[in-house]
Amino acid sequence: MPWPEDSNDDGQIDRAEFLAPALALFADQDRSGDGVLTADELPPPPGSEARRED
């Protein structure tokens, strides 16, 4: 079964292939492009809406 992370289809997942999805996620969330994620660039933590008091 092919793995989507195995981008070169060699049957192995090397370090670059393993890190690629995480790096893509980081780049998507780093809206300012400064290489740092700030609180305003991150989504709210899971369950944070459930804890909100009205």
Task: Give the count of beta carbons closer than 10 Å to the beta carbon of residue 20.
Answer: 15
Please name the amino acid found at residue 18: F
**CA nearest neighbour of 41 among 54, 51, 28:** 28
Looking up tokens 């995480």 gives 22
The rounded mean pLDDT for the chain is 87
**CA nearest neighbour of 19 among 27, 31, 11:** 27
18: its two tokens? 């393993």
Grade residue 52 by pLDDT with cuts at 50, 70 and 90.
low
Structure confidence at residue 54 (pLDDT): 52
Please name the amino acid found at residue 3: W
pTM score, two decimals?
0.68
